[in-house]
């Protein structure tokens, strides 16, 4: 199976360990295990003893029961048997697409989105129909346009909500409209589904590509999810504060426009210089040690993906460097 180069990941692989100011990161400011224990009120020595005493066997093949029970609390009506853990959202995406999509199928995927969701079904041999998310529509799917794309061969409708890179968030009513069109039952991240036929197909494929997740990962994940309220409060606080900082900065920049994200940890910034986004980001990195992801990775030129969920001081410092680069481009354009 041949597959396209994964643009955004290859860009990050090239630069993220070299950048002094990484504004391409999408994860909320990371915690150490010590910090996590202190945040949720667990004795770090007791938890460390559990870690070092744990035998490194395969563990629970379909996911640790305690972990899956903690995951169900994120949902309204799911049982642990309707969840299977994977190696991150990228693993769950890969599992679902490879287990369900066959050559000759049709898959509808929004664009822009995380490239994996388009390139894997295309590499399998499916026809991928793209549903463009337009800026003037708040980067939300157009239901009537979607209806026109659906056919008897449609196997999956793939959404990314909140969208990466735009940060657009579909409402409950908007999601229900999609469900009414497609009857989709898959929620991606870990895999969660009421459809036991889908679960059986995914578990069968999973035996070939995952078997089980690492026990130490599951221990830490269980600790986090059992204390999800305090962790979410901390993470949402960081994201909300940084979004205010980013919004303030954008309003001060004459060459930058955006559509303020509704959710998630990323946004698209548009610039008005006659410069391809790859060259823009490459120069920004080399001249100011600052990493952004070029919009070309999402097939949107003259734009940049920025993450805003890490430490606020790091965000401010990185945007200061970006501002200097924009001023330099303005001088060059005169």
Q: How many residues does the chain have?
A: 334
What's the pLDDT tens digit per position in 64-121?
899 899 999 988 889 999 998 888 888 899 999 999 999 999 999 999 999 999 999 9
Token pair for 148: 């026109």
* pLDDT in the model for residue 149: 94
Q: Do 7-33+228-329 and 87-209 have matching folds?
A: no
Token pair for 194: 């009421």
What's the pLDDT tens digit per position in 206-242?
888 887 888 888 888 899 889 999 999 999 999 999 9
Beta bridge partners, 306, equal: 267
Asked if residue 35 lies in contact with residue 158, where contact means CB atoms within 8 angstroms, the answer is no
pTM, two decimal places: 0.84
| Domain 7-33+228-329 top-level CATH class | alpha beta
* pLDDT in the model for residue 281: 97
**Whose structure tokens read 């078997």?**
211
| Residue (of 109, 178, 107) closest to 144 by Cα position | 178
What's the pLDDT tens digit per position in 265-311?
999 999 999 999 999 999 999 999 999 999 999 999 999 999 999 99
What are the strands, taking DSSP E only, across the chain?
21-22, 83-84, 106-111, 127-132, 154-158, 191-192, 256-258, 266-271, 290-291, 293-294, 303-307
What's the pLDDT tens digit per position in 180-207?
777 433 233 468 888 899 889 988 888 8
Spell out the domain ranges in the chain.
Answer: 7-33+228-329, 87-209
| Residue (of 127, 80, 137) closest to 101 by Cα position | 127
* Mean pLDDT computed over 243-270: 96
Cα gap 326→257, rounded to integer Å: 13
* pLDDT in the model for residue 221: 87
What's the pLDDT tens digit per position in 129-176?
999 999 999 999 999 999 999 998 999 999 888 999 999 999 988 888
Q: What is the CATH number of domain 87-209?
A: 3.40.640.10
* pLDDT in the model for residue 328: 97
* Mean pLDDT computed over 256-271: 96
* pLDDT in the model for residue 185: 35
DSSP-derived letter for residue 112 is S
Helix (H) or strand (E) holding 37: helix 33-40
- Give the CA distances from residue 36 to residues 40, 41, 223, 305, in Å, rounded to whole numbers and listed in that order: 6, 8, 8, 29
- Give the CA distances from residue 7 to residues 3, 43, 115, 117, 219, in Å, rounded to whole numbers and listed in that order: 12, 42, 8, 13, 32
Cα gap 191→325, rounded to integer Å: 42
Token pair for 254: 């004459």
* pLDDT in the model for residue 225: 87
**Whose structure tokens read 């050559």?**
103
3-state SS assignment for residue 187 = strand
What's the pLDDT tens digit per position in 23-62?
998 888 888 899 999 999 999 999 999 999 988 888 888 8
């Amino acid at each position: 199976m041949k597959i396209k180069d994964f643009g955004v990941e290859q860009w990050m692989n090239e630069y993220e360990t070299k950048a002094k100011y990484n504004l391409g990161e999408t994860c909320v400011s990371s915690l150490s295990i010590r910090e996590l224990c202190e945040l949720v009120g667990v004795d770090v020595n007791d938890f460390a003893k559990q870690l070092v005493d744990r035998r490194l066997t395969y563990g629970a093949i379909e996911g640790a029961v305690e972990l899956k029970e903690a995951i169900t609390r994120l949902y309204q009506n799911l049982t642990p048997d309707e969840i299977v853990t994977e190696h991150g959202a990228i693993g769950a995406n890969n599992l679902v697409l490879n287990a369900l999509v066959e050559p000759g199928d049709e898959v509808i995927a929004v664009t822009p989105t995380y490239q994996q969701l388009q390139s894997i079904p295309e590499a399998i041999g499916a026809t991928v129909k793209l549903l463009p998310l337009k800026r003037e529509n708040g980067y939300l799917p157009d239901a009537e346009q979607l209806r026109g794309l659906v056919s008897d061969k449609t196997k999956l409708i793939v959404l990314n909500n909140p969208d990466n890179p735009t940060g657009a968030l579909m409402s409950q009513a908007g999601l229900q409209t999609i469900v009414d069109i497609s009857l989709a039952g898959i929620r991606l991240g870990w895999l969660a589904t009421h459809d036991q036929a889908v679960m059986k197909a995914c578990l069968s494929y999973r035996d070939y590509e995952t078997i089980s997740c690492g026990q130490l990962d599951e221990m830490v994940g269980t600790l986090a999810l059992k204390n999800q309220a305090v962790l979410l409060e901390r993470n949402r606080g960081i994201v909300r504060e940084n979004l205010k900082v980013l919004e303030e900065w954008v309003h001060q920049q004459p060459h930058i426009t955006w559509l303020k994200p509704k959710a998630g940890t990323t946004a698209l910034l548009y610039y008005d210089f006659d410069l391809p986004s790859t060259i823009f980001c490459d120069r920004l990195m080399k001249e100011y040690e600052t990493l952004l992801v070029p919009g070309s990775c999402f097939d949107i030129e003259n734009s940049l993906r920025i993450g805003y969920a890490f430490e606020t001081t790091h965000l401010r410092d990185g945007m200061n460097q970006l501002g200097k680069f924009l001023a330099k481009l303005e001088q060059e354009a005169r």
